[in-house]
Structure 1
């Protein structure tokens, strides 16, 4: 007779999902800022180097939907292990790259591995975490990911300082991926720790990718579009703030300090977001976040030529960080709420594609509007899009998650 399952605890989840995620994201965060520099060292122009820097996100978007099939067939834990090993192979390709083309292939594969790893950890928490803890677990997962991206660049700076070369940073990612793999292999299988996964009869495990997408086409089109706008707002914030600082004459050191403090504010609120969602409902996190992001961008659009433009920039940057932090984990939590319990991975792959597509498209839209008109107009358009997204969330979250919208514990 098998041993009885132990009660759920956040500490067990921290070891099984958060620690591997932290290691993987630290390694990825270390290499992403250096990819354009390595490309430039291989002879790429500035434009091509910038393009290569964005290939990780392109690979992630391309890999989102297929990753749902992979995870549903081999399981969450196994998928995370193989994704980490695939990332190691991709980084070795980057290290050995004799030209920009080979480097681009390696970077693109890193994006594919990121898609599988991200989907696997999302599906893992969706499957094993009880509903009353779900939002806190997923918002913490989002916070861990942001922490890795925050620590990674500092680690890469230290490695470059002591090694004298940018390519040495790739070894940081390799070590982090191998460490994440070791953690996943050495820890017990979640099924033996918590017992059978939380499943319902409404999601048979035999559902395939295209069948799942077709059956959920309405929610993916409507609420998925809103999630894409959330991803777009977050990516726009990361693009517009540095550009705005340059355009109003703030120095590089001051810009880094302001954005760094804003990032710390954002990170500090991840657990607050999860608590709000678990205690009061998903809408109480999603709606204030999108209203804050949209209104923040609209205000910023009218401050560029004001005498106190620098002060307005600091205030808006902090306001946007609070708004973004309050919504930490909302995309993953909504996806987990909506996913079929029997086999969540195919749905989550399509769901993550919607959010990642918005994240990938937003910087291109900002660049295009800025080139044609102005950065202020780009900020204004982003603000309108954020308010539109807030309206869609207000309409469709209660429609598709009527109980989880305000009282998730009663679902």
Structure 2
């Protein structure tokens, strides 16, 4: 297994880390760049959300593109477009141009992510698929975690956001070169070299369509797999919603209980560090015991933490509870690292996974995009405790859906 994963480093894990480093560095600067162009706080938030909207809009076209040209060329095309979007940033003279550049980055991230996901689904054996995908998720998380620190160092050294933008451009350009000049994944692992899978797949008991018609397009694939997407896809979107909600809820909850910015940043940082530290453990659990043994603790820990947080705002120990529950949420999220990619790979047809994964990732991205909107809408008309509790309720509904529809036989062997 270790040798197989090492061979994936230059074609999968390396480009993932580079791309994530660039994204992680630029994300904290987006609202500042928007305000410098005259945007108010609300408009700055909309500009920042263009990254998520771009990812949401890019998943379906990504499935079509990967199915047409293959994983490597799809990543190169996405990288070149992302490079064009990054080059637009230093010259963005209006909010509209800035928004287009950020949207392009998110759109290309969707193509890039789906191409890697499709390759892993087709080539990584089932018995260590979760660990391979957890490592992929960990590579991305490490880049997103480290990127802001690099941005802070560059800003401290130069005093200009332009240095961070050029760092993004360098990271994206290096990603394109690594993908283009490195080994071709599809040639490196031809059908004859792929390790055989022992036993069935995680789709056992799901009554999935078979591989017949595996070259179907995106929309026909959506119709063909509509039952799976409507059940497990919606359950998966609830996990994405919890993950996205924590990034909004925790900082705002800290503000609501009167903490300063430094304390809030420290608590959120600790939560993120715990999340990152557990990414490989998540893959170990899924491969050794089954996917359900990762998803249930993760969903329950995050859901009950949001519900508990909603009940602690008025207590004298509110700060202590905030620290403890933020840590629990970080652990819960870490235990599900790579889970959504693993489930998508388990359920996708082996011969042509990209169209299915485009639909799967659209649902998970929709959950991530909807959660902050739901939370903000509820917080506007009700106390923040009600909005926070609603996130926990969404998580419990998703937990029930996973418990009802998660495949057992293939994934629990």
| Conserved? CA contact 1:288–1:326, under 8 Å | yes
SS of corresponding position for 2:110: helix
Is 1:277 aligned to 2:277, yes or no? Answer: no
Q: In structure 1, how many angstroms separate the alpha carbons of the residues matched to 2:95 and 2:129?
A: 42
Match in the other structure for 1:262: 271
2:39 to 20, 31, 44: 44
Q: In structure 1, how many angstroms separate the alpha carbons of the residues matched to 2:302 and 2:411?
A: 20
| Conserved? CA contact 2:214–2:349, under 8 Å | no
Match in the other structure for 1:247: 256
Q: Following TM superposition, by how much is the alpha carbon of 1:111 offset from its aligned partner in structure 2, in angstroms?
A: 1.1
TM-score (norm 1): 0.94
Q: In structure 1, how many angstroms separate the alpha carbons of the residues matched to 2:65 and 2:133?
A: 21
SS of corresponding position for 1:151: helix
Match in the other structure for 1:71: 66
Q: In structure 2, how many angstroms separate the alpha carbons of the residues matched to 1:223 and 1:359?
A: 16
Is 1:380 aligned to 2:389, yes or no? Answer: yes
| Conserved? CA contact 1:370–1:377, under 8 Å | yes
Q: Deviations over 1:350-379 (max 9, x none)?
A: 000111101011001111111100111111
TM-score (norm 2): 0.94
Match in the other structure for 1:97: 92
Q: Following TM superposition, by how much is the alpha carbon of 1:205 offset from its aligned partner in structure 2, in angstroms?
A: 4.3
Give the root-mean-square deviation of aligned CA atoms: 1.7
Q: In structure 2, how many angstroms separate the alpha carbons of the residues matched to 1:50 and 1:102?
A: 15
Q: In structure 2, how many angstroms separate the alpha carbons of the residues matched to 1:287 and 1:394?
A: 8
| Conserved? CA contact 1:282–1:404, under 8 Å | no
Match in the other structure for 1:115: 110
Q: In structure 1, how many angstroms separate the alpha carbons of the residues matched to 2:143 and 2:212?
A: 33
Q: Following TM superposition, by how much is the alpha carbon of 1:8 offset from its aligned partner in structure 2, in angstroms?
A: 6.0
Is 1:405 aligned to 2:411, yes or no? Answer: yes
| Structure 1 residue runs of 4 or more that deviate by more than 4 Å after TM superposition | 197-201
Q: In structure 2, how many angstroms separate the alpha carbons of the residues matched to 1:327 and 1:137?
A: 14
Alignment of structure 1 residues 10-409 onto 2, 5 Å: 10-196=5-191, 202=211, 204-398=213-407, 402-407=408-413
Q: In structure 1, how many angstroms separate the alpha carbons of the residues matched to 2:410 and 2:27?
A: 36
Q: In structure 2, how many angstroms separate the alpha carbons of the residues matched to 1:333 and 1:404?
A: 13
Aligned in 2, Cα 1:307/1:349: closer, same or farther, shift over 3 Å? same
Q: In structure 2, how many angstroms separate the alpha carbons of the residues matched to 1:194 and 1:121?
A: 14
Q: In structure 2, how many angstroms separate the alpha carbons of the residues matched to 1:379 and 1:360?
A: 16
Aligned in 2, Cα 1:249/1:181: closer, same or farther, shift over 3 Å? same
Q: Following TM superposition, by how much is the alpha carbon of 1:73 offset from its aligned partner in structure 2, in angstroms?
A: 0.8
Q: In structure 2, how many angstroms separate the alpha carbons of the residues matched to 1:252 and 1:39?
A: 21
Q: Following TM superposition, by how much is the alpha carbon of 1:403 offset from its aligned partner in structure 2, in angstroms?
A: 2.2
Q: Following TM superposition, by how much is the alpha carbon of 1:193 offset from its aligned partner in structure 2, in angstroms?
A: 2.7
For structure 1, list consecutive stretches of 5 or more residues without a partner in the other structure. Answer: 1-5
Q: In structure 2, how many angstroms separate the alpha carbons of the residues matched to 1:270 and 1:126?
A: 19
| Conserved? CA contact 1:23–1:180, under 8 Å | yes
For structure 2, list consecutive stretches of 5 or more residues without a partner in the other structure. Answer: 198-209
Q: Following TM superposition, by how much is the alpha carbon of 1:203 offset from its aligned partner in structure 2, in angstroms?
A: 5.1
Q: Following TM superposition, by how much is the alpha carbon of 1:208 offset from its aligned partner in structure 2, in angstroms?
A: 0.9
